[in-house]
Amino acid sequence: MNVALVTETWPPEVNGVAHTLERLTEGLRQRGHRVQVIRPRQVLDRPVAGPRHAMSPEDVTLPGIAIPGYRGLRMGLPSTRRLRRLWRHSPPDVAYIATEGPLGHAALAVARQLGIPVASGFHTRFDGYARHYGLGLLTLPVRRLLRRFHNRCGATLVPTRALAEELREQGFLRVGVLARGVDTRRFTPARRSRTLRGQWGASGPVPVVIHVGRLAAEKNLDLVIAAFRAIQAARPDARLVLVGDGPQRERLARAHPDVIFAGQQTGQALAQHYASADLFLFPSTSETFGNVVIEAMASGLPVLAFDTAAAHEHLVDGVSGVRVSLTGARRVDEQAFVRAARELADHPEQWPLLGARAREHASTLDWSEVIGGFESVLVQLVQTEARDAHASAHG
């Protein structure tokens, strides 16, 4: 197939959406499909990129603008005329639109005008983000906008069964599940580093608690701190490592000088950070999935998380970590999360077994199956479009 993938985020930007799209693109190309990535020109674009991030000759970069509060990320401009010229000259068999920004809306409009079948990805809960930035009144309008966008597509792909059911209840149509995989050769307990632990002041049996993610309001970082303080009450020598960067970093660093801020990490360095810790805390409920949860599991870490997204799908309570239930209307019970952290701190002898079971489950999450499922969805859309065109031509 000739596939157009439209996205407003792409490596070397560091986030779960960019990582997932790169893996899907690599997988389709390895299966013999031509994939044209269409995205905004990035702040992080470099003259010489590594082999994983190198652009293919058919890829297209378009103008973009900076996203306020998200340093290093850009939002695509509509570029409707450019897309129309591009796809009239060389139409793709199918388009996958991964983001619902101005570029994504333009791509959907042009694809429908030209009769190109479209699948979309529901990668980010923009409706949920509104309340984290004091814009709770926009939650329902944003949700209506998202629903209208996705219902104009031939399929909308989400990462979990629970999210698929939730969107169906909200009136989203043609919703399917496309799971996520994890690279267990990269994320593995074998990357544990005594040197790195020494840099953290965690020699010997000192427990290291870690969180990986953007340091932003929607990640519920104050609860990471509160849970760590509960662990610290039982283990005063415990260390907390925050991996990532973002607008909350300066505030947190001022308030908590004993916390280790490791900054943004990628590749082998990121894998070493996971594997060199002992427990992963993830109190965010704003994710559609949360790749970091299964990366931590693959690294042999027990995970403490709310019962949603990746944790709901893959974490078994009391077996590979601890899941904390959400209350009514999907509200977080912060006290329950802190209590669970303290209970884990009281039984550190259980952590290695929980982590081993987490690793065992993560080993089943193979990217090749995910890519095969993605390929099947795109093939089905192409075949359906061809049947419909044939039926229309023959009355």
Q: Which residues contact 248 (CB under 8 A, 6 or more apart)?
A: 215, 216, 217, 219, 221
In this predicted model, what pLDDT tens digit does every residue of 36-62 receive, in sequence order? Answer: 999 998 765 444 344 455 567 779 999
Burial of 379 (0-12, 13-18, 19+ CB in 10 A): middle
Q: Report the distance separating Cα 227 and Cα 251, nearest Å.
A: 18
| pTM of the full structure | 0.91
* Domains of the chain, start order: 2-181+366-393 (3.40.50.2000), 189-362 (3.40.50.2000)
pLDDT score recorded for residue 13 = 87
CB atoms within 10 A of CB 189: 17
pLDDT score recorded for residue 268 = 96
Those residues of the chain that have pLDDT short of 50 are 45-51, 129, 132-133, 135, 137
pLDDT score recorded for residue 50 = 43
As a whole number of Å, the end-to-end CA separation of the chain is: 27
Reduced to 3 states (helix: H, G, I; strand: E, B; else coil), residue 95 is strand
Q: Which helix (H) or strand (E) holds 279?
A: strand 279-282
Burial letters 251-276, b for 16+ CB under 10 A, else e: ebeeeeeebbbbeebeeeebbbbbbb
| Whole-number average pLDDT of the chain | 91
Q: Across-strand partners of 37?
A: 5
pLDDT score recorded for residue 202 = 96
